[in-house]
């Protein structure tokens, strides 16, 4: 398996935290919250947990800035990172890089330009694309359908489509 970046490690850690949180019905205990904060702080950030379902995350890692992100987006980004790692294991680094860059473009778009619900939808589509692409029984027709849905979700968001235009031919290799 090649080099794993700090970003990939951080995303995997957030994925594990999100999966664990899905099994908890109530808000995490103070001790659990402290563990989560400690993990995040060790990767140059801070986590502020609020009562109830809403959580706000502010952290900076190699240029990334995540603000007002909910659990679902954190879990999705973690799953995408896992899928990208698996794609890299198949030596499709150009596709993995393109998917990472597209995911970052979407995640860094402010909520005025792309509402959080639309961001979440686009990230879920990337998550499914990476899941299917890293599957041993990947079907090009399924990848094509997911890819078309993803393009529909981002094609009218100027900051994303400007960056995605160069990435899209690389991503399309998954189904062409």
Divide the 176 residues of the chain into consecutive groups of 10 and give the mean pLDDT of each group.
64 72 61 68 43 43 46 66 84 91 89 88 90 88 94 92 92 92
Ordered alpha helix ranges (H), 23-139: 30-42, 71-89, 93-107, 116-133
Position 27 scores a pLDDT of: 64
User: Could you tell me which of 54, 65, 43 has the C-alpha nearest to residue 21?
Assistant: 54
How many Å apart are CA 126 and CA 30, to the nearest integer?
33
CB 57 within 8 A of CB 33: no
Instruction: State whether residue 151 is helix, strand or coil.
Output: helix
Position 172 scores a pLDDT of: 95
């Amino acid at each position: 398996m090649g080099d794993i970046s700090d970003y990939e490690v951080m995303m995997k850690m957030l994925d594990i935290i999100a999966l664990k949180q899905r099994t908890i019905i109530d808000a995490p205990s103070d001790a659990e919250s402290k563990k989560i904060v400690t993990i995040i702080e060790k990767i140059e950030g801070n986590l502020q947990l609020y009562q109830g379902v809403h959580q706000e995350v502010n952290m900076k890692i190699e240029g990334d800035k995540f603000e007002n992100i909910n659990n679902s987006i954190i879990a999705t980004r973690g799953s995408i990172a896992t899928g990208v790692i698996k794609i890299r294991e198949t030596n499709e680094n150009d596709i993995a890089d393109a998917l990472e860059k597209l995911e970052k473009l979407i995640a860094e778009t402010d909520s005025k330009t792309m509402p959080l619900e639309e961001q979440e939808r686009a990230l879920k589509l990337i998550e499914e694309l990476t899941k299917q692409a890293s599957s041993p029984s990947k079907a090009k027709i399924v990848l094509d359908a997911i890819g078309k849905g993803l393009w529909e979700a981002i094609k009218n968001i100027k900051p994303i489509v400007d960056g995605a235009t160069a990435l899209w031919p690389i991503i399309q290799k998954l189904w062409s």
